[in-house]
Amino acid sequence: MKSDADNPLSKIRNIGIMAHIDAGKTTTTERILFYAGFLHKMGEVHDGNAFTDWMEQERERGITITSATVNAPWREHQINIIDTPGHVDFTAEVERSLRVLDGAVSVFCAVGGVEPQSETVWHQADRYKVPRLAYVNKMDRTGADYENVINMIHERLTSKACAINIPIGKEDCFEGVIDLISMEAWYFDPLTQGTHTSHMKIPDFMMDEALIAREHLLESIAEFNDELMMLVLEGEDVPSELIKKAIRRGTIHHGFIPVLCGSSLKNKGLQLLLDAVVDFLPSPLDIGDTHAMDPDSHEPVYLAADPDDHFVGMAFKVQIDKYVGRLIYVRVYSGTLKKGGNFQNMTNGKRERVARILQMMSNKKNDKEYLHAGDIAAIVGPKYLVTGDTITDGNINVVLSKMHFPDSVISIAIEPKTKADQENLANALLRLEEEDPTFKVHVDKDSGQTLISGMGELHLDIIVDRIKREFGVTANVGNPQVSYKESITLVVQTSEVFQRELNGKGNYASVTFRLSPIPLKEISDDQKNTFKCSVDSAKIPQEYWKAIEESALAALSDGPLISSNVERVAIELVDGDYNPVDSNELAFRIATSMAICKGLRQAKPVIMEPIMMLTVISPDDFVGDIISDINAKRGKIEVMRKHNEYQQEVVADVPLSELFGYSTRIRSLSQGRAIYTLEFKKFEIAPAQVQNEVLRRIRGYAE
């Protein structure tokens, strides 16, 4: 493999733009594409013509709903950008984007600072160890306060953030930016939409502030370069290149967060942001070997970003395109994938062919012949490839770590307005479920109704709108309902013997399980239930263990109370028996399912309700009434803190069932001056009164 400096991979940056809704992510992406020369005219979110907001719903509502992939050339580098949604209902788009990115730009509003969804996406990036920059946008707005935003980042997110540039003026007087690395003042010509920049001497009235800020920057990065540290200790001048080298090392190794400022709408500061992406965020080579696992031995496997090695990639998004059909977005970690070539799906074992490779620019497509290590693009052809699947050339036995998606928490009943559309609706729901891991479809076995579930009312509203626009199906929908789950509270032992003659052949299986509730703190994102086999192979041969495990876990999808998913259950196979003549896989599957269903009924089952994290930002005058209302809704106040000079922030855990219509309620309580966000937090056992109400509504009677 070539040296890093000569390797084309060193010129690639795979980044995401992430933030709270309305912080300016899409406007920032639009400016990046303009200054990189890809766009000759900038679109605006408020005009409904931003390049990356290509869906009709995005253009109408002025929000990003689906992550858009674009690429921009800058200083002989290729920056692959994923612009992610800011609304919490579309958190799956952020999650799967961060899983495959090497770096990120976190955008903050200079007025709002660290807002609720800012924290959520920041912690998502922490989970995947994504190096990032912070960009404080909207410095031209009334109330903009750069220093306050940095303080909020320190208090709520990380102490590692430090400014690498500072604003010249603010609000209406925001004129430009001082680069603390080169110690130059940057000004952006409004007549050329900021394309022409001037690098000038720092104004005298800003010099003291700039020197103090630069000294703080040097102190913050000194630990990342010994030569720089010595120069700082000796009071010597530090060259710009040495500062950049230290910032880059600190950023890539998660020890430093560079903070920049600007105004994307006013076209100020974007070139410095692009420079920072190239200078400080990692290439695929910088992130080191990708960690994978041998699925048989469970031993770690490390994949080098080498286009000549075995091909390994991950499918991170499925999109149904009306012209080409299934588009599967893939990140390549190792090796090369060719157009017309085959790959092995390590998740389902299928081998499939790649008909086309497409470089996506929002919803525009350019054909490619190859995908190399470090590349992100879409492929056409595979029918069975889904989000989260690992794909290889078939000559290496590895799987990449899975993505984590939150449970859906809200449901509505849906039916077509005409019987003729029944099949079209079913097809639409199937395709939308394929695209979105947080969107679920199921049929209620008692009522026969089709229920769709998602992350919130906006999420389902968009789904219903897409069904009408993209599939031509007008549907009737019911009122929103809470999606409940079930669990158990007792440890029980349950046995079943299945002995029956079917089609003239004997069938025999005997199983005994122990079912135990799992404490919440022991639950992981990707494993809500567990299975353990403690039986001797002399009693039940190993050839049946896999079938028993699959059947046991499948039985948890139909709870004894309201037929919902059962979670937090540890299943242990402790005993059993078989007959060498009559025992078979089917018999063990049936016996297992019967035993688990019986055991769940005996284990004192309970209903769990979704708990939301409610964050309210309100003027001081209304906080008392808002807190009283939260308490009346069975809420628990978790945090109360000053948001800024005039507003307080209240964070509370509140059952979702108490929050329908909250937008109207909060407007009434605050005279329309408070804002709020809702984010799913956890499921917890509902109070007895609530459980009885749910049972009466769903089954017609309580326990």
With a pLDDT cut of 90, the percent of the chain lying above it is: 74
pLDDT at 48 over 70: no
pLDDT at 57 over 90: no
Contact 518, 490 (CB under 8 A): no
Level-2 CATH architecture, domain 609-699: 2-Layer Sandwich (3.30)
Give the per-residue pLDDT at 532: 96
For 12-22, how does the pLDDT look when each residue is reduced to its tens digit (9 = 90+)?
Answer: 999 999 988 78
Give the per-residue pLDDT at 109: 95
DSSP SS3 for 331: strand
DSSP 493-541: EEEEEEEEEETTEEEEEEEEEEEEEPPGGG-BTTBSSEEEE-S-TTTS-
CA–CA distances in Å: residue 13 to residues 30, 63, 129, 280: 17, 25, 16, 10
Question: Do the domains at 410-482 and 486-603 have one common CATH topology?
Answer: no
With tokens 């009164």, the residue in question is 689
User: Stretch 377-396: mean pLDDT, rounded?
Assistant: 96
Contact 114, 19 (CB under 8 A): no
pLDDT at 65 over 70: no
For 144-197, how does the pLDDT look when each residue is reduced to its tens digit (9 = 90+)?
Answer: 999 999 999 999 999 999 999 999 999 999 999 999 999 999 999 999 999 999
Q: Give the pLDDT band of residue 61 (cuts 50, 70, 90).
A: low
Q: Which fold has domain 486-603?
A: Ribosomal Protein S5; domain 2 (3.30.230)
How far does CA 451 lie from the centroid of its chain? 24
DSSP 68-126: EEEEEEETTEEEEEEEPP-SGGGHHHHHHHHHH-SEEEEEEETTTBS-HHHHHHHHHHH
- Phi/psi of residue 433, each to 5°? -65, -35
Q: Give the pLDDT band of residue 62 (cuts 50, 70, 90).
A: low
For 597-656, how does the pLDDT look when each residue is reduced to its tens digit (9 = 90+)?
Answer: 999 999 999 999 999 999 999 999 999 999 999 999 999 999 999 988 888 999 999 999
Closest to 639 in 3D by CA, of 624, 651, 648: 651
Level-2 CATH architecture, domain 8-176+257-280: 3-Layer(aba) Sandwich (3.40)
User: Stretch 221-247: mean pLDDT, rounded?
Assistant: 96
The region of weakest confidence among 46-60, 249-263, 438-452, 483-497 is 46-60
pLDDT at 381 over 80: yes
User: 175-209 in b/e burial notation, b at 16+ Cβ within 10 A?
Assistant: bbbbbbbeebbbbbeeeeebeebeeeebeeebeee
With tokens 């199983």, the residue in question is 511
Q: Give the pLDDT band of residue 6 (cuts 50, 70, 90).
A: low
Contact 431, 437 (CB under 8 A): no
pLDDT at 51 over 70: no
Q: Give the pLDDT band of residue 69 (cuts 50, 70, 90).
A: confident
Strands (E), 304-459: 312-321, 325-334, 336-338, 342-345, 351-353, 356-361, 364-368, 370-372, 376-380, 390-392, 399-400, 410-416, 440-443, 450-454
Give the per-residue pLDDT at 517: 96
The model scores a pTM over 0.95? no
Q: Give the pLDDT band of residue 138 (cuts 50, 70, 90).
A: very high
Beta strand pairing call for 257-261 and 161-163: parallel
With tokens 């080498």, the residue in question is 306
User: Stretch 434-446: mean pLDDT, rounded?
Assistant: 87
User: Stretch 544-556: mean pLDDT, rounded?
Assistant: 97
Give me the sign of the Cα torsion angle 586, 589, 593, 594: positive
> What does the DSSP 8-state code read for residue 276?
H
pLDDT at 243 over 90: yes
Q: Give the pLDDT band of residue 117 (cuts 50, 70, 90).
A: confident
Name residues whose C-beta falls within 8 Å of residue 300's C-beta, 6 or more positions apart in sequence. 291, 292, 293, 294
Of 116 and 50, more confident: 116
Give me the sign of the Cα torsion angle 25, 29, 35, 40: negative
Give the per-residue pLDDT at 663: 86
Give the per-residue pLDDT at 278: 98
DSSP β-bridge partners for residue 573: 513, 533
Level-2 CATH architecture, domain 290-400: Beta Barrel (2.40)
Beta strand pairing call for 356-361 and 376-380: antiparallel
Taking the CA atoms of residue 546, residue 552, residue 554 and residue 555 in that order, the dihedral angle to the nearest 10 degrees is: 160
Name residues whose C-beta falls within 8 Å of residue 205's C-beta, 6 or more positions apart in sequence. none
Contact 208, 215 (CB under 8 A): no
Q: Rg of the Cα trace of the chain?
A: 28
* Lookup: tokens for 472: 């031509």
DSSP SS3 for 413: strand
The total number of residues shown for the chain amounts to 703
Q: What is the number of alpha carbons within 13 Å of residue 94 lying toward its C-beta?
A: 30
Q: What is the mean pLDDT of the chain?
A: 91
pLDDT at 1 over 50: no
* Lookup: tokens for 638: 């978790």
Contact 695, 703 (CB under 8 A): yes
* Lookup: tokens for 605: 């089952």
Contact 589, 548 (CB under 8 A): yes
* Lookup: tokens for 200: 């000038």
Give me the sign of the Cα torsion angle 364, 369, 373, 378: positive
Give the per-residue pLDDT at 540: 97
Contact 107, 24 (CB under 8 A): yes
Q: Is 700 left (phi over 0), alpha (psi -120 to 50) or beta?
A: left
- Phi/psi of residue 95, each to 5°? -60, -50
User: Stretch 247-253: mean pLDDT, rounded?
Assistant: 98
Give the per-residue pLDDT at 445: 74
Of 502 and 546, more confident: 546
For 71-105, how does the pLDDT look when each residue is reduced to its tens digit (9 = 90+)?
Answer: 889 999 999 998 787 667 777 888 888 999 999 99
Name residues whose C-beta falls within 8 Å of residue 505's C-beta, 6 or more positions apart in sequence. 582
How far does CA 674 lie from the centroid of its chain? 27
Closest to 15 in 3D by CA, of 75, 63, 67: 67
For 654-699, how does the pLDDT look when each residue is reduced to its tens digit (9 = 90+)?
Answer: 999 999 989 889 999 999 889 888 888 999 999 999 999 999 988 8
Q: Give residue limits of the domains in the chain.
A: 8-176+257-280, 290-400, 410-482, 486-603, 609-699
When the candidates are 2.40.10.10, 3.30.70.870, 3.30.930.10, 2.60.40.1180, the CATH number that belongs to 410-482 is: 3.30.70.870
Q: Give the pLDDT band of residue 4 (cuts 50, 70, 90).
A: low
